[in-house]
Each structure stands twice: as C-alpha cells, then as structure tokens.
Amino acid sequence: MYKLDKHILEIDSVELSFGGRQILNSVYLSIESGKISGLLGRNGSGKSSLMKILCGEVQATFKTMRIDSVWHKQFSASQLMYLPQNSYIPKNILTKQVFKDFKICGFDFTDIFPEFSVLMDKKVGQLSGGERRIVEIYSVLKADTQFVMLDEPFSQIMPLHVSKIKSLISDEKKSKGILITDHLYQHIIDLSDSLYVVDNETIYLTREVSDLVKYGYIHSSI
Amino acid sequence: MAKLNFIFRFYRQSMVVISSVLTLIFFHICILNNNSENFSAPIVICSRQLLFLIIMYFVYQFKKAEFCFGYYRNLGLSITQIFIIPILIDCLMSTLIITCINWISTY
C-alpha cells in the first residue's frame, strides 16, 4: 500500500502577456496529491504557458506559487517535474542511462513494455518518436517528486501503449499530484478527478462534459 | 556526486566541441604571437572566455528548453550549476593549456 502525504500546489494571480496580447489573467490553479487535474483548452489559450510558468521556463508578469501554503519563487525537481510537449532527453544518452539518472528500475519498465528490453542499450536518438515519448513519460512519472506535469503525453503514442500509460498515470496518482493536458481530451476526461478549461485568459473548473462545449473547446455534435 | 557527474556529462556533451574549437583558435593565436615577449596570456585567456560566454549565451537562447528546463532541470540542476560550473571548468582548463603553451614557447 502507498502511504500518501497530502500536499497542495497552488499558483495564483497569474498574469501573462506576449507582445501586447494578454494570454492569462488572474489565473488560479491547484494540484493535489492523490488527484489528477486535467487541463483543456483551445490552441494558444495558455495551457502550456501555464505549465512553463510553474516549472520556471516562462516568466509571468505576475504570479504567486506555493506548496502547502509555503511560498516558492520556483519549484525544485524534487517538488515538481515537467514533461514538455517536445522531446527533452538529449539524443546521445543511452536509454538505460536515463533510468539510472532518474534512479528508476529499468526492469520494472521492461516488464510493462517488454519490447524495450532490446532497446535499453541503444541511444535515445535511435528510438522512434513514440518509443522516446514512452521513456520520457515513464521517467518523469516514476521519478521521486511530489507533483508531475504532463504536457501532451499521448501524442505519438500508439493506442496499445496509451492504455498502459493511462494505467501508469492512475497508479502514480496514489503517491503524487498530477496535472495533465492533451488534445486527446477523452483520455483526459477518463483520467481526471478535476477538469479545468482555459478560455478567454482564465481558467474554469468544469463539472460536466457539456461545459467543454460552452467554453468552445469541443463541438456540440461530438 | 551525482550532480557533479551530470554537470561533467553536460559539459562533455554540450560545450566540449565549442571549447575545443576555441582552444585550437587561441592555440594558433599563441603560436602566431610566439616571439613571446608581446604575448600576454591573461589577455588571450580573457578574450577566449569572453567569446566562449557569448557563444554559450546564443546556444542557451536557441536551445533553452533542452539545456535548462528539460532533462537536466528534471534531474535537479539549476541554471547556475548547468552553465557557470562548466564555464569555470573550461576557464581552468584553457588557462592550464594556454599557460603550458606559453611556458613551452619560452624554451
């Protein structure tokens, strides 16, 4: 059994603009241990920017961040890990080295994804886009951290592996707080305990799928 | 220790090529200035480091995500650890190399 210490990560009063265009305005978001928070929104609505602000890659005009009511200027890797949209592991590292670096058991990984046992001695750059993505998702999910942010984890992943990744994410929420975004919104709806939509510079907590229509994210006929 | 290992690996993967090319260029400058009385090692080292910093600044701007907020950020390294420590290592190494060249050239 997992022993879960309850933690809450909050980001508040986020203001962000690029070249005079306001992207986010007075945004508040919280992520809780033991829960998956889904983040949906149209292209350019600011989902990825919000994640980048949380991990320190983008500087917001204004923001406050805290974990368990303790203020932080930025979060360390032991507090928050981030899976960016694009591939982030240097291509010249051996796949097994990635697991060593993140102090993760490679055998557990190959138990879930047996086809990777022959790929462990290959460089990350020699893996296909989907294979690389699986290594990236697994390493971020399994690493020793309190919170995880996943930006488009299901892109490039084949359906057979999507179900495995989904069960991995569900397993990891027992010990972490997870924020996830992807345009394959059905997976996000399936996984999420709370679902947020970014629209018109701010974030709304949705209660039902019909809210996605209201915020212009999906068409009413879907 | 693990962090130091990552820093050295980052230096080897990302900076060593630039560092080697610069060292070669400045090695030639040393050779050209080899009637050594007018050759000033500190000026060569400082200008080399300045050029190195300018190049690294542009590399950082173009490869920002991978260098700072991707793999090494998730391993717990800060921007200072990622950039400043390798630059100090590079400064030390180039000082040693250029001092050696200077020393050899006096004999």
Q: Which of A52, A76, A92 sits opposite B76 (nearest CB)?
A: A76
According to CATH, the topology of domain A8-90+136-212 is Rossmann fold (3.40.50)
Q: What is the 3-state secondary structure (H, E, C) of chain A?
A: CCCCCCCEEEEEEEEEEECCEEEEEEEEEEEECCCEEEEEECCCCCHHHHHHHHHCCCCCCEEEEEECCEEECCCCCCCEEEECCCCCCCCCCEHHHHHHHCCCCHHHHHHHCHHHCCCCCCEHHHCCHHHHHHHHHHHHHHCCCCEEEEECCCCCCCHHHHHHHHHHHHHHCCCCEEEEECCCHHHHHHHCCEEEEEECCEEEEECCCHHHHHCCCCCCCC
Sign of CA dihedral A175, A176, A181, A185: positive
Q: How far apart are CA B105 and CA A27, in angstroms?
A: 64
Q: Which of A77, A89, A90 sits opposite B76 (nearest CB)?
A: A77
Nearest chain A Cα distance for residue B83, angstroms: 16
Nearest residue in B to A56, CA atom:
B69
Angle A35-A36-A40 from CA coordinates, rounded to 5°: 145
Write out the two tokens for A147: 């919170």
Closest to A193 in 3D by CA, of A213, A174, A165, A168: A174
Q: How far apart are CA B15 and CA B20, in angstroms?
A: 9
A106 touching B (Cβ < 8 Å) = no
- pLDDT digits 0-9 by tens, A35-55: 999 999 999 899 999 999 998
What percentage of chain A carries pLDDT values higher than 90? 75
Q: What pTM was computed for the model?
A: 0.81
B76 touching A (Cβ < 8 Å) = yes
What type of residue sits at position A88? Y
Domain boundaries, chain A: 8-90+136-212
Average pLDDT over residues A22-37: 94
Is the pLDDT score of A15 beyond 70?
Answer: yes
Q: Which of A82, A92, A93 sits opposite B74 (nearest CB)?
A: A82
Average pLDDT over residues A54-65: 90
Average pLDDT over residues A54-58: 87
| Mean pLDDT, chain B, whole residue set | 70
Orientation of helix B41-62 relative to helix B85-105, angle to 10°:
150
What percentage of chain A carries pLDDT values higher than 70? 97
- Interface predicted TM-score (ipTM) of this complex, two decimals: 0.77
* Beta-bridge mates of residue A29: A11
Nearest chain A Cα distance for residue B56, angstroms: 17
Closest to A181 in 3D by CA, of A203, A211, A201: A203
Q: What is the pLDDT of residue A5?
A: 75
What percentage of chain B carries pLDDT values higher than 70? 59
B61 CB neighbour count, 10 Å cutoff: 9
Q: In terms of residues, how long is chain A?
A: 222
Name the strand (E) or helix (H) holding B15: none
Q: What is the pLDDT of residue A153?
A: 95
Lowest-confidence pick of A91-100, A122-131, A142-151, B46-55: B46-55
B74 touching A (Cβ < 8 Å) = yes
* Chain B residues closer than 8 Å to A148 by CB: none
